[in-house]
Amino acid sequence: MSRPSTKPRSGMRDFLPRDIARREYVVSLVRRVYERYGFVPLETPAVESLAILSGKYGEDEKLIYRILHRGEALRRVLDRAENAAALGADDLSEEALRYDLTVPLARVVAQYGGVLPKYFKRYQIQPVWRADRPGKGRFREFYQCDVDAIGSRGRIPEAEVLSAVSEALSELRLDDHEIRINHRGLLRAVLDVAGVPEDLGTSALTALDKLDKIGVEGVRTELRERGIDDGAAARLLDLVAADEDRGDPKARVRALAARLGGVGEDVAAELAELFEVLDVTPAVGRVRFDPALARGLGYYTGAIFEVRLTDFGSSVAGGGRYDGLIGMFGKQAVPAVGCSIGLERILVVLDERGLFPPLRVGPDAVVCWFGVPAACVLSVARTLREGGARVEVFPDAAKLGKQLAYAAQDAVGARFAVIVGPDEAAEGMVSVKDLESGEQVRVATSEAAALVARGPGALEAPSKAT
Amino acid sequence: MSRPSTKPRSGMRDFLPRDIARREYVVSLVRRVYERYGFVPLETPAVESLAILSGKYGEDEKLIYRILHRGEALRRVLDRAENAAALGADDLSEEALRYDLTVPLARVVAQYGGVLPKYFKRYQIQPVWRADRPGKGRFREFYQCDVDAIGSRGRIPEAEVLSAVSEALSELRLDDHEIRINHRGLLRAVLDVAGVPEDLGTSALTALDKLDKIGVEGVRTELRERGIDDGAAARLLDLVAADEDRGDPKARVRALAARLGGVGEDVAAELAELFEVLDVTPAVGRVRFDPALARGLGYYTGAIFEVRLTDFGSSVAGGGRYDGLIGMFGKQAVPAVGCSIGLERILVVLDERGLFPPLRVGPDAVVCWFGVPAACVLSVARTLREGGARVEVFPDAAKLGKQLAYAAQDAVGARFAVIVGPDEAAEGMVSVKDLESGEQVRVATSEAAALVARGPGALEAPSKAT
């Protein structure tokens, strides 16, 4: 048999230790911020039944990873089929991989409604799978960081979700993040007043959403191509694009509402209220009203938001209010507002901008040895570990030079070698060598742990050691 | 359409916040110990190609979750098939869910050999999927905590793996864990000397492995049923079961070697050496030689081990040396030794024994409010968070009693309510209420964070506050 390819599947990735350190840095920081806001963690299985997933993702449903029936169940289907061509995916599978974290949340709320608090504020950071065409920054297995507040129709949960996301991005030192906010109700009112026919509304919004990328004339052309007459297009663009400058978002929302002549007044008041409360949160100054923001997903019912960075083409987070979705598996509607941080994009930006802090990967020291029994070496390692150092032991008897060369490799990640030879062993000492500077000192084994755990510079400035 | 079931798939589980806190407690402790030993993390995709997975799991291969072909690829197979009955799972899938963490490790070592250090010490804690019949403690999605040292044939990595596992179990306060050790080479020698025919060797070991559960007579009966003659069975049992008492494992290994008359002498020396070095590690005193230990998996080539607790029927960890597996996708053999902790079993035991420490889930406090604007409430929450408290804000205007009742619910997990009314707001104060004792104090908002972050008893002993 030919040797199979050992690459990961297309669009999927192996995470080596350094990759994991970076991912962990972001994930643990985001979790910490979310928990500061009272959000609690939830995890759901990778596999969901197709009865739960079907009909939720429109034409993207074809991207779902389905699980093939097994054993008898598969045999039965195949043996009973009149002919193979009459079979389809639905005959061959009844479960599939998680496609997002929102539908599982809806399932969980329906299943454990009695156990969960009425206001369920959960975050969920888990991979999802989509058989999309892989590309730069687009993967088939990728993590979502969702944060959602279930159970209230008010502004407070909206402000809390946005504030938590903003605080997380600030702590990641993405200080240029900007939160664009709009409201589905306001969009509906705008389309209405502009005279866009109702059946073309969604199509018009898809064009409008590109305003940032293709500009006013680009959108005008696309609206025409989508069958919206020039008069309606002009009115639409006049309403949403005329006011592209910044400024107090509350005032801008009210100004738009005034131009709409009463239509959407309630919605505008709601949105102004959101801007007002955001002023006292850490998101203050990051918030902008964007009347052209549409967001693709059809399920939003109220405020919608998108977080962008100044020099990064796509959004790094997005979300909104969706009062119709969480209740879909239960008996009553459950209001909800949420936001999802795009972990993979954040990682790209932090890397491009050099914003990762120094992240420790691998041991502090490798114990290298010669002329002493293995038990002596393991005993030194134990002392070092008990002293708080992270220690690898060179596993085989090899020349010391070879051991030190191994320890100094970037792939190992150690800063120090702790050398144990017969002289050292006889005196209860070890030699600690800084693998970067080459400096070397001999210390009592009991003192070595504190030295190597101190990291770079530990040997150069012994006077500062205490 | 009828409402679909919202239960997780059979054998799979939703993890609610309290479940996650317990899992996180174990996983982060285990990770910390593994990293102390210089092991580094690895993660691989959930989906692997069947070319990688096939032929690795014997008859358990039928338990693999296969991914159905999508779109055109599926259509092509179905349309070209002569008849459906001629089709099988291999025609309908080419990728599948990860079944264990060892085969992906072998793939990673082949793929990134040039980047990884020669001695690659990795741990991997991720879910695997097996379509096994679900049962008590047996799941279809479950986590494995694997720790493996690649690249050396020596005793040091074996001792390091066992020591790390033992230290992790000790830190989890599973102080009664016992590590049973045997050697595949010794088993082969024993079978040989006992006169068990070579083709019945594996079958004999399967019976022998049950010695603990069914006793000497049970094994004798089973050996007979498996076609091993009574003489060979008696000699086999005499060699491995006669010496069931404890005692210095090194001496016991040497005694067995002496009885084998030279066969397996090298192996016995190797095993005695392992016992000797283990004496200086934290595993000292936990180690026992068990000449009847066989371990099911066929791929072990050297030392094998299994970790048990006194009152728990099945093992909580197991592993061994397997020098033939990691190199299977590459050009040369790669020696390896590893161990896997059974996370799900550990969780069961810690729960049964009440060994989980108090784990914080949910916010420290819920901010409850009346007669003040939402912005005022969010501003208080911000101050509390900046002071280091984890805070949820009651999202809607409701009667204070209702808010307090919500905050006091076990499902919310808060110990305190922070109450903001018009009086408090006017003075820059809040009332902090201990939801368990009912005690309530009014303090400056700036002081409330330290109070609620202190947890139970914070209000009772204000003199100890500083």
Closest partner CB to A45 (pick from B9, B43, B381):
B9
Cβ atoms B372, A128 nearer than 8 A? no
Q: What is the pTM of this model?
A: 0.93
B 325-344 residues with CB < 8 A to A:
329-330
Distance CA B380, CA B373 (A): 11
- Inter-chain CB proximity B375 and A12 less than 8 Å: no
CA distance linking residue A388 with residue A59, whole number of Å: 54
Cα gap B100→B127, rounded to integer Å: 8
Q: Which residue has the tokens 């280091």?
A: B388
pLDDT tens, residue by residue, A29-44: 999 999 999 999 999 9
Quick: pLDDT tens for A129-174. 999 998 877 899 999 999 999 999 999 999 999 999 999 999 999 9
With tokens 């005959």, the residue in question is: A91
At B59-72, the pLDDT tens digits run 889 999 999 999 99
| pLDDT, tens digit (0-9, with 9 covering 90-100), for B317-349 | 999 999 988 888 988 889 999 999 999 999 999
B113: confidence class by pLDDT, cuts 50, 70, 90: confident
Q: Which two tokens stand for residue A120?
A: 């369920």
Residue A466 pLDDT exceeds 50: no
Q: What is the pLDDT of residue A311?
A: 83
Distance CA A377, CA A367 (A): 7
pLDDT of B18 higher than 70: yes
Interface test mutation site (partner B, options A54, A393, A420, max chain B beta carbons within 10 A): A393
Residue B242 has pLDDT above 80, yes or no: no
List, as one string, the DSSP characters of B54-95.
TTSSGGGGGG--EEEP-HHHHHHHHHH-S-GGG--HHHHEEE
The tokens describing B432, both together, are 């902090």
Burial A406-419 (b: 16+ CB within 10 A, else e): bbbeebbbbbbbbb
Report the distance separating Cα A433 and Cα A452, nearest Å. 9
Confidence of residue A68 (pLDDT cuts 50, 70, 90): very high
Task: Return the higher-pLDDT residue of A1 and A377.
Answer: A377
Assess whether pLDDT exceeds 80 at residue B460. no
Residues in chain A closer than 8 A to B157 (CB atoms): 395
Q: In angstroms, rounded to a whole number, what is the distance separating the alpha carbons of residues B155 and B278?
A: 9
What sign does the CA torsion over B136, B140, B146, B148 have?
positive
Report the 10 Å Cβ neighbour count for B446: 14
- pLDDT of B99 over the 60 cut: yes
The answer to whether residue A73 neighbours chain B at the CB level (below 8 Å) is no
What 3-state class would DSSP assign to A4?
coil
User: Distance (Å, rounded) from C-alpha B190 to C-alpha B211?
Assistant: 15
Structure tokens belonging to residue B288: 């026992």
Tell me which residue of A281, A334, A273 sits closest to A303, measured CA to CA: A273
Percent of chain A residues past pLDDT 70, beyond the cut: 97
* Mutation for testing the A interface, residue in B142, B393, B394 having most A CBs under 10 Å: B393
Mean pLDDT of B420-427: 94
In the predicted model, what is the mean pLDDT of residues A7-19?
96
- Output the pLDDT for position A463: 47
Question: What is residue A89's predicted lDDT score, i.e. its pLDDT?
Answer: 93
Distance CA A433, CA A416 (A): 5
Chain B residue numbers with beta carbons less than 8 Å from the beta carbon of A97 are 46, 67
Task: Find the mean pLDDT for residues B433-449.
Answer: 95
pLDDT at A83: 86
Shortest alpha-carbon distance between residue B243 and chain A (Å): 27
β-strand pairing of A287-289 with A178-183: parallel
ipTM score for this prediction: 0.93
B179 vs B309: CA distance, rounded Å: 9
Mean pLDDT of A440-454: 93
Q: Which residue of B has its CA nearest to A365?
A: B38
Query: Is the Cβ pair A281, B8 closer than 8 Å?
Result: no
Q: Is B438 exposed, middle or buried (0-12, 13-18, 19+ CB in 10 A)?
A: exposed
Closest-CA residue of A relative to B382 is A281
Classify strands B365-369 and B391-393 as parallel, antiparallel or unpaired.
parallel
**Residue-level pLDDT at B464:** 43
Q: Tell me what pLDDT residue B463 has.
A: 47
- Degrees to nearest 5, angle at CA A449 with A443 and A450: 90
Adjacent-strand bridge partners of A444: A429
Closest CA to A38 of B309, B294, B394: B394
Q: Which residue, among A69, A336, A375, has the nearest Cα to B93 in the 3D structure?
A: A69
Mean pLDDT in residue range A442-466: 79
Question: What are the two backbone dihedrals, phi and then psi, of residue B367, each rounded to the nearest 5 degrees?
Answer: -80, 120
Question: Looking at residue B221, what is its pLDDT?
Answer: 94
Report how far residue B189's alpha carbon sits from residue B132's, in angstroms, rounded to the nearest whole number. Answer: 34
For residue A385, the distance in angstroms to the closest alpha carbon of chain B comes to: 6
Question: Which residues in chain A have Cβ-Cβ distances shorter than 8 Å to B40?
Answer: 17, 361-362, 413
CB A69 within 8 A of CB B93: no
Using an 8 Å Cβ cutoff, are A432 and A455 in contact? Answer: no
Cβ B359 vs Cβ A35: under 8 Å: no
Q: What is the pLDDT of residue A55?
A: 86
Pick A78's closest partner by Cβ from B7, B84, B153. Answer: B84
CA dist., res. B62 & res. A221, Å (int): 56
Tokens read off for B386: 């900046």
Percent of chain B whose predicted confidence (pLDDT) is above 70? 97
Residue type, A97: L
**A47 to B38: CB separation less than 8 angstroms, yes or no:** no
B88: which DSSP letter?
-
| Matching residue, tokens 């009742």 | B405
Beta-bridge partners for A135? A138
Q: Quote the minimal CA–CA distance from B114 to chain A in Å.
A: 10
| Lowest pLDDT segment from A119-123, B417-421, B452-456 | B452-456
Encoding tokens for residue A61? 């449903």
Contact A162, A149 (CB under 8 A): no
* Contact assessment for residue B344 and residue B145, using Cβ atoms and an 8 Å cutoff: no
Cβ contacts of B423 within 8 Å, gap of 6 or more: B429
A126 φ/ψ angles, rounded to the nearest 5 degrees: -150, 160
B111 — phi, psi (to 5°)?
A: -75, -40
B157 CB within 8 Å of a chain A CB? yes
Residue A209 tokens read as 């959403």
- CB contact under 8 Å between B280 and A8, yes or no, is no
Is the pLDDT at A415 greater than 90, yes or no? Answer: yes
User: A204-215: per-residue pLDDT in tens?
Assistant: 988 888 888 888
- Sheet hosting strand B336-341, strand order edge to edge: B40-41, B120-129, B141-150, B336-341, B317-321, B303-308, B178-183, B287-289
Please classify residue A255 by burial: count the beta carbons closer than 10 Å to its beta carbon, then call 0-12 exposed, 13-18 middle and 19+ buried. Answer: middle
- Main-chain dihedrals φ then ψ at residue B343, nearest 5 degrees: -55, -45
Query: Residues 395-414, chain B: which have Cβ within 8 Å of A?
Result: 395-397, 406, 409, 411-413
Model confidence at B465: pLDDT above 70 = no
Mean model confidence pLDDT for chain B: 92
CA distance A164 to A147: 9
Q: Does residue A125 register a pLDDT over 70?
A: yes
What is residue A297's predicted lDDT score, i.e. its pLDDT?
Answer: 64
CB-CB neighbours of A322 under 10 Å: 23
Q: And the tokens for B247?
A: 């005692």
Strands of the sheet containing B47-49, edge to edge, are A47-49, A93-97, A66-68, B66-68, B93-97, B47-49
Percent of chain B predicted with pLDDT > 90: 76
CA A277 to chain centre: 26
DSSP string for B132-184 = PPPBTTB-SEEEEEEEEEES--SHHHHHHHHHHHHHHHHHTT-TT-EEEEEEH
User: Which tokens belong to B275?
Assistant: 């016992």
Instruction: Catalogue all structural domains in chain A, each as residue range(s) with its CATH number.
Output: 17-353 (3.30.930.10), 365-464 (3.40.50.800)
- Predicted pLDDT at A244: 53
Give the amino acid at B171.
E
Q: Which residues contact A200 (CB under 8 A, 6 or more apart)?
A: A226, A227, A228
Pair of tokens at residue B155: 């005793």
Averaged confidence pLDDT in chain A: 92
Residues A92, A68 contacting (CB under 8 angstroms): yes
Tell me the pLDDT band of B311, cut-offs 50, 70 and 90: confident
Q: How far apart are CA B171 and CA A170, in angstroms?
A: 36
Q: What is the pLDDT of residues B27-42, one digit of tens each?
A: 999 999 999 999 999 9
Residue-wise over B219-235: b if at least 16 C-beta within 10 A, else e?
Answer: bbebbeeeebeeebbeb
Please report how many Cα atoms fall inside a 13 Å half-sphere around the Cα of residue B6, on the Cβ side: 18
In sequence order, the 6+-apart residues with CB closer than 8 A to the CB of A195 are A231, A232, A235
The CA dihedral of A43, A48, A52, A55, to the nearest 10 degrees, is 110
Three-state SS annotation for A291-349: CCCCCCCCCCCCEEEEEECCCCCCCCEEEEECCCCHHHHCCCCCCEEEEEECHHHHHHH
What residues contact residue A243 under an 8 Å CB cut-off, 6+ apart?
A: A252, A255, A256, A291
HSE (side-chain half, CA atoms, 13 Å) at A82: 2
| Chains A–B, number of C-beta pairs less than 8 Å apart | 327
Residue B243: Cβ-neighbour burial (10 angstroms; 0-12, 13-18, 19+): middle
Please write the tens of the pLDDT for every residue from B270-310. 999 999 999 999 999 999 999 989 887 678 999 999 999 98
